[in-house]
Structure 1
Amino acid sequence: MVVCVRAVVRVLVLQAAWALGGGQVRYSVPEEAKGGTVVGRLAQDLGLEAGEAEARRLRLVAQGRRASVEVSGASGALVVSSRLDREELCGKSAPCALRLEVLLERPLRVFHVEVEVTDINDNAPLFPAATKNLSIAELSLPGSRFPLEGASDADIGANAQLSYTLSPSEHFALDLQKTEDDTESLFLVLRRPLDRESLAEHRLVLTATDGGRPALTGTVELLVSVLDANDNAPQFNQSVYKVRLPENSERGSFVLRVNATDLDEGTNRNISYSLQSLFPQDGRDMFEIHKTSGEIHLRGSLDFEDVRLYRLQVDAKDMGNPPLSGHCKVVVEVLDVNDNAPEVWVTSLSVPVPEDASVGTVVALLSVSDRDSGANGRVRCAVWPPAPFGLVATFAGSYSLVLREALDRERVSEYEVEVRAEDGGAPPLRASRGLRVPVSDVNDNAPAFAQAVYTVLARENNAAGAELARLWARDPDEAGNGRVSYSVAEGGAGAGSGSGSGWRPASSYVSVDAESGRLWALRPLDYEELQVLQFEVRAVDAGEPPLCGNATVQLFVVDENDNAPALLPPAGGGPGPWAAGEASASASAPGSLWAWAAWGAPAGQVVAKIRAVDADSGYNAWLRYELWEPRGKGPFRVGLYSGEVSTARALEEADGPRQRLLIVVRDHGEPSRSATATLSVSLVEGAEAALSAAAAGAGASSSGAGLRPAEGGAAAAAAATNVWLVVAICAVSSLFLLAVVLYGASRWAPRAAVLAGPGPATLVCASEVGSWSYSQRQSRSLCVADGAGKSDLMVFSPNCPPPPGPAAENGSAEKGPSLSPYSSGTVGCPLFFIFIHLFIFLYQFFCFPMVFHGRMVIETMWMWK
């Protein structure tokens, strides 16, 4: 007994499924769709299982027209098989639908499928001809209007709305008028009088543009011939003729007869009629007119749903020379018959419906229309199955699909509803529309990120507002329950992350877009300030109550080469003696450094060491040192990565008293940054170099940690130098006075006069930074690089006269007697030389301590004749 009951229930369920699937299925596809385009999942929409379509031989049968779609045997999908041209299938009818029958065998079932072909802007406006000839009398007054035949567009709707433009002309303009019945008339208006003798023909270009996107255009060339003579044009007894025809009128039916008269006589009175279609543009073959009688007959088949109104233009042209013409309009109204089934449209569909929706909830808004008019267009609607939904009429042609019973998602998760419509024609025509109404659940799933921890790399110095990453959390709920918003929950960076200003919240560095989950930088990131920023991002859905999920973001700042190397002041115990007055080096202004090297120093001896630091990290902080000047085989070299300046070979006197080295410090960043340092190396004797090094060490130690070398060592050296200079000046002044007294006594003592010849002039100049001399004597210089430059002492040997002789007497006889300032007889000259030697000795003895505090250059020139 139980087995029998189960079998009966199974049969009833199968019959109910077949009944639900026996309705009409409707699809939409744009025209010009490529072959193979899937129109719809027909097998699935008919409730067939996978593979059942092929097993039960699901096939398609076209009704009346050649079908451009077919059923795929394997998948059971409805696909495009050949080119779909809406204009070829339906012309101006809107909408355009293909009505198909689907057969299903074993057992045999018939389903109705309707495929709507939507319009695209694939047809440009088209004029009847590429050239239009117009004949206008020369005596036509300004303001005269000449009707033009507009363009036609095979598309419908906005794609067929045309606008017209005329090429620039000083004689003609374009005028488009709309009448009370919403029709358009295109006229060529004469703006200025014509003069056939000056210009007999006007060439104009009329352009028609449709309303599609992108817009398409069509053109026609207007050839306006200016004619003379005939001054009376034919006139119709009516400007507008109106007539009504049912859409099922047979071809050849009589429409009406027009009549025009001409006041002229003779051949100018003979009239010939011609017919042109104003709307639609392709309706020229629908009617024809007899040239002499003016009778209009129907040539084609009328369709109320395609074109409800025809606007024709009848031209009456006389036989004058030149011929004149008159014009009238014929309006043909097409009357409807019941040849169209109702159409059901879904204007609004609120799905899915929550399972806790109350009775009376509006699920969908429907619009029902029939292209017919009158009783043929009045439609009655019903819903099947009657539960749990029902139809409520809101106003004419509009219905609401409302909930009649409570829903239970655990029992039924989706409903297939069919809305059936029937018009009031005789016999009535029917149509239906199927709706799929799924039932939604409540909010029971929290958002979940794809990763628990996100690692994000951000380049240093990124622009404020730059996107760093995109976070995404998935919520399997629907509608608002699955709409996720993002926010930065917590986290930040402390002093351990590179920030020297304490802990900062993550919200001061980054922000997350609430809707998209995009992570933005609020300000440029600085690697020297922040290396790692860890925080949490929270995703909250919009359900009631809301549920949330978290993810941790680790933001690593990638260093960029944005800091140039900075030169450091030399250490007190460095490898080379640094001058007490050196300037501290920086990235913006290269430092000036001093060092000493002894002549004869072997190759490889370290003279100085350049110290630099880079605030960046990694390769951006890896420094290398290069010697730019002097280039080639100089006496010094610099360590590529140590910065130590050492001798490249043994130093010689030929290298000069001083070497100026230009050293460039570069990092390994891309692009690299650099700083320059100028090192002046003074070449001295070995003992002087040792004393200079000791003086430099003393100056560095006495300068203190808080003073610069230029502020401590230079001051101490200047003070000591002043003391020794005062003592030396006093001693030398005393000895000089004594020497003058002795020289005067010896000068006036009775002795043989010695005639001294003139000696070459010697020029001595002194300045605050040193002295220089010009003479014809050899010189020797001693440079001590220790501190600021001091005034140097330059001593020259006097020009002693040669012993008296004939040559001297002859010279003196020729030039006249002349006494040298140094001429002193046999005792005066040696005494003066002794004074000079004593002066030099005392000066060196008293001033020798200055080499520990400053730089002194002594030049002594001796030449004895």
Structure 2
Amino acid sequence: MTKRMGYRDWRWQALWWHHFFLLWTTINGQTRYSIPEELKQGSVVGNLAKDLGLGLSEIFDRKLRVASEAGEQYFSVDAGKGELVVNDRIDREALCGQSSSCVLPLQVVIENPLQLNRIEVEIRDVNDNAPSFLKSDNILEIAESTVVGVRFPLESAEDPDVGSNGVKTYTLSKDDCFTLKVKEIENGRKIPELVLSKSLDREKKVIHDLFLTAMDGGNPAKSGTSKITVNVLDVNDNVPLFENTFYKVAVQENSLNGSFVIKTKATDIDEGPNGEIEYSLGKHTPPSVLSLFHIDTVTGDIYLKKELDHETQASYRIDISAKDKGFLKMEAHCSVQVDVLDVNDNPPDIVLTSKPTALPEDSRSGTVVALLSVRDLDSGDNGKVTLKLPKSSPFNLKASFSNNYALVTSGSLDRERFSEYDIEITATDSGSPPLSSKTIIPVIISDVNDNAPLFTQPSYNVYLKENGVLGSILYSVSASDLDFGENAKISYSILDSKVQDVSVSSYVYINSDNGSIYSMHSFDYEKLKVFQIQVQAKDQGSPSLSSNTTVHVFILDQNDNAPAVIYPSSAVLGSLSHQRMSRSAKAGHLVTKVTAVDADSGHNAWISYKLAEATDASLFTVNLYTGEVRTKRAASEQDDSSQRLLIEIKDDGEPMQSATVTVSILLEDGLHEPILDLRQKTAEPSRKTGRITLYLILSLASVSVLSLVTFLILAVKCMRNSSSSGSCCMTRSDCDNYKNPNRNMQIQLNTDGPIKYVEVLGGDMMSQSQSFRSCMSPMSEYSDFTLIKPSSTTDFTEVISVLDASLPDSTWTFESQQVSRQNMAFSVI
């Protein structure tokens, strides 16, 4: 039994394929095969690999596959031989119905690189169906008065085969009164007609049994038979007549149920019941027509019973019968052809031929992303389809052939902006109103290493306390990469540079995974105050990309240096300091002055003096800020001649650091000259006076000039800052130019209680710095100026010797802040 599709299904497929191949035949270079229907599974159609110019290895390597648009996969490719073989039973009648041509289009998709080929397989008809009649028995009632020559249409035989295999001839069994005529109508269709060749005589023969045989043109020929029983009727001898034997009308497929189609009319010259006509659809009307149309039995008007569908069937033929109501009913026949006009009621359909793969973001313009085709079941302009993409999409559609398109790139791609596109394709037909449909094709953009890592800051400032623990974390830098996967994996490293002529890698190291920077050893603020680290972040792409940042590390001072005594010189050298004082000294007499310095800075270097122990605490006092030792009262004869003072020196740091110095004072009678005069034993009185005068003049002049310049600078600074405080600090620093010692200077007026001092700093912060500090005490009795160039160590022996030689009759203080190997300090008291 032949496999059948629904009548509606194969008719619209046949129509679609017919238009499709009319367009396809205009394409050059297509491969076409021809096979008969009903071939066994595995039968060879042709050598596809050879016809397409492909080697057998390319079938595997390039993933050759065959796709059919007919729905079912009737063919496949033998990968071992490259042959196109039958995959399933092929029934031509189920595929193409009564169409004279039956061609199956196939798409041969070859990947790597993507290629699309078209082949056609023509299905030739085989005479596998015999003609058949809808009814095996038919009864005709013919009045005996029927005129010779009247024709009675008989049921046509149906044969699903086409061409020569279709119905070719009809034969009628032998009968004296009837002969057979075959009428050929449009489209080559043949209708058998029973012709009355001799007048009937009911009295002689009431029933005539006839056999109608239909034969096709196959080899061997096949046939089908229908029995016709003719009942001869009497009396009513006038047959109704239609105004037209053939009617033609066009109806739109969207006409509503119950719509009027056409009016048929027949007349009968008989009178009474013999002239009353009753209309009906022909006896041989197919069920598909009966379900769509019905006729008014009185008026002959034809109406729709349900909606039509042009895509299912474009034309219908209806046989109409008109019978009178005579005792012996007579009837007439006509045909109505109903053409169904197409209405745009089918939206276009987009078919994705090949699925898109991940697309690199550096793909060139014109790269093929996917292949697709479009179809519309409507006809004419209603079936003409145009495709449209969004304007902002970096893709375009390139037409290939027969409503096939390639989706290609039309611009540059950037995964960091859009990692995935949902490409919405709109298909619109040319009907009125137009119908459209949409489909979304997802396209994933794969990453390319086109973004360098980016630090969160262009530079970092890190403040680190000195004397930190070895291996402690200094800071964590962080960079991010807009790329993905390996292209976004970042490793950190430190670029080689020098810090005090030593590689920076000797000071710190970095965790390559998270950017954490760790110290290699403890830092000393007094030796190193600031240094730079160049950090590089590099991704793992190919080729890799990198970026740099600078980490400025500032060492913060800690109170790790105790005050160091620089005067009296004997205390510095580790021995007891001896001083002499006249018993005639009055209260407030300056006996000596203790001077100490602290290598730290800021509050950690602020020094205070305190009398810890004394032979007679009521006789002497020590100034808290200047270290001056003065008498609290006048000495008396009862006071011991030898006085011993223990002076404690503290800084202002946390935790506090301290030092002590012991001063021995000898009370002598008749000692009226200053202490410095006793040291100059060989000088004459006039020469002593001259030297003292010269020193005083020089000191006063220097102090005056320095004070004037300092206070002018401070006044300008204070005016800018609108500050009205008792102390003012002016600092000029250019951190960006700290490597130039001639452009970096700090002038600072500090207040430590009653001590007023000016600090001038200049030079390279890293290597060559200069420090000038002037201390002015309102409690000091002298204003002496000394310029001292100390050595690179903390040995103050040479400093003390210079002080002893230059200031014979004054007490002095000295403060030094060693920044690097070269510095200068001066103090004014």
TM-score range, shorter chain: 0.3 to 0.5
- Give TM-score scaled by structure 2 length: 0.35
- Give TM-score scaled by structure 1 length: 0.33
Rg larger in structure:
2
